[in-house]
Chain A
Amino acid sequence: GQQLNQSPQSMFIQEGEDVSMNCTSSSIFNTWLWYKQDPGEGPVLLIALYKAGELTSNGRLTAQFGITRKDSFLNISASIPSDVGIYFCAGQMSDKLIFGTGTRLQVFP
């Protein structure tokens, strides 16, 4: 079935650094989404992208829907300790919603 390759698997960064993660697939998607999961909680939707090439910001977060519709990236600027968690990408197409395996982010003061 469809797979989303999410990278990196984990990141250890210092507070204040910028972060970049991405998701790629061999399949084309109609929508790309990014979720964040805090420890012990369920995922929470951060950003949804609906058009190829779309660039969307939500505070310090910026995400883009790749022009080929097969990839997406998420950037976090000036990281803070509460950015710690697992970030999941998700792609939607043809009545299916596929989740990536997640990027675990650790932020050190």
Chain B
Amino acid sequence: DAGITQSPRHKVTETGTPVTLRCHQTENHRYMYWYRQDPGHGLRLIHYSYGVKDTDKGEVSDGYSVSRSKTEDFLLTLESATSSQTSVYFCAISESYSLNTGELFFGEGSRLTVL
């Protein structure tokens, strides 16, 4: 199994508060991704990174920011959480650019509830 750890695994917060989710990998893979999973929508890409300090937006990036200061860590931040951001968030990694191959290794997910 790919070594991916997400933290926290569960979080409940209030509208308007900042939230940061962390993804840590031990595989030294270049590419890292944040997805959200919602009923009826499957998995949707929020942001991705193709190297340290190199990131780009996915299809649902509004309200989210990311940072990657080290190869092994990719942070997802909600500056001011809203109820529409209640979701399960998955980090994924790949050795090659998955948006060309589709092959991803996923973490176990972080369930976020915004009240």
Contact = CB atoms under 8 A, between A and B. Distances in A.
A92 B43 CA distance: 13
How many chain B residues sit at the interface, stated as a range, is 20 to 34
In this complex, the member of B41, B103, B108 whose beta carbon has the largest number of chain A beta carbons within 10 angstroms is B103
A42 B99 CA distance: 18
Nearest to A45: B103
A42 to B, nearest CB: 3
Interface string A41-66: 11111001000000000000000000
A34 B26 CA distance: 25
B45 A97 contact: yes
Contact of B102 (A4, A40, A97): A97
Interface stretch (A12-20, A76-84, A98-106): A98-106
How many chain A residues sit at the interface, stated as a range, is 20 to 34
In this complex, the member of B41, B45, B102, B108 whose beta carbon has the largest number of chain A beta carbons within 10 angstroms is B102
Main secondary structure of the interface of A (DSSP, over half): strand
Contact of B104 (A40, A45, A96, A100): A45
B109 A92 contact: no
A21 interface: no
Contact of A41 (B98, B105, B109): B109
18 contacts: A6-B42, A33-B102, A33-B103, A42-B90, A42-B92, A42-B107, A42-B108, A43-B106, A45-B103, A48-B103, A92-B102, A97-B99, A97-B104, A99-B42, A99-B43, A101-B40, A101-B41, A101-B42
Interface of B: 4, 40-45, 59, 90, 92, 98-109
